[in-house]
Amino acid sequence: MSEQKIVTVPEIATIEEIKDEIVDVKTFYLRFDNKEIDGNFTFKSGQFIMCTVFGAGEFAVSLPPSPENDRFHITVRRIGKVTNALHDLQVGDKVGIRGPFGNGFPFEEIKGKNVIYVAGGIGLIPLRSSIVHVLQHRNDFGRILLLYGSRSPQDLMYQYMLEQWQKIEGFETFITVDNGTPEWKGNVGIITTLFDKVEIPVENTVAFVCGPPVMFNAVIKELMQRGIKDDMIISTLERHMKCGVGKCQHCAIGRTLVCTDGPVYTYRQIKTLGEQI
Partner 1 sequence: MYLIKKNDVKKIAKALEEKYTLYGPYLDEAFGQCFFDKVSADNIDLNAPIPANPPKHVVFPHLETIMQYKYDKNAKKADIAMVFDDVPKALFGLRSCDLTGLQCIDRFFLGQEFVDEVYRHHRSRMFIVANTCVVPFKQCFCVCTDSGPAAQEGYDLNLTDLGDSYLLEVGSEKGKAFIESFNFPKATQEHVTQKQKLVEKSITMFEDIATESKAWVSRVMNRVTTGFIKEEVWEYIGNQCIECGACSYVCPTCTCFNINDANTIAGNTERLRTWDSCSYEGYSRMAGGHNPRKPIEDRRNKRFFCKLSYSQSKKYLRPGCVGCGRCAWVCPGDIGLPNVVTYIRREIHE
Ligand X SMILES: Cc1cc2nc3c(=O)[nH]c(=O)nc-3n(C[C@H](O)[C@H](O)[C@H](O)COP(=O)(O)OP(=O)(O)OC[C@H]3O[C@@H](n4cnc5c(N)ncnc54)[C@H](O)[C@@H]3O)c2cc1C
- Which residues contribute to the site for ligand X (CB under 6 A)? 48, 57, 59-62, 75-77, 79-84, 125-126, 238-239, 241, 263
Is 142 in contact with 113 (CB distance < 8 Å)?
yes
- Give yes or no for residue 242 binding partner 1 (CB under 8 A): yes
Residue 48's binding partner out of partner 1, ligand FES, ligand X, none, with CB under 5 to 8 Å set by partner kind: ligand X
Residue from 172, 229, 239, 266 binding partner 1 (CB under 8 A): 239
- Give yes or no for residue 37 binding partner 1 (CB under 8 A): no
Residue-wise burial string across 134-167, b where 16 or more C-beta atoms lie within 10 A, e elsewhere: bbeeeeebebbbbbbbbeebebbbbeebeeebee
Q: Which lies closer to ligand FES via its Cβ, residue 189 or residue 246?
A: 246
Q: How many CA atoms lie within 13 A of 175 on its CB side?
A: 23
Q: How far is CA 122 from CA 31, 55, 210, in A?
A: 23, 26, 9
CA pair distance 85, 78, nearest whole angstrom: 9
- Give yes or no for residue 161 binding partner 1 (CB under 8 A): no
Task: Print the binding letters for residues 242-271 with ligand FES: x by CB under 6 A, - otherwise.
Answer: xxx-xxxxxx-----x-x------------
Helix H or strand E segment including 210: strand 205-210
Residue 202's binding partner out of partner 1, ligand FES, ligand X, none, with CB under 5 to 8 Å set by partner kind: none
Residues that bind ligand FES (CB under 6 A): 241-244, 246-251, 257, 259
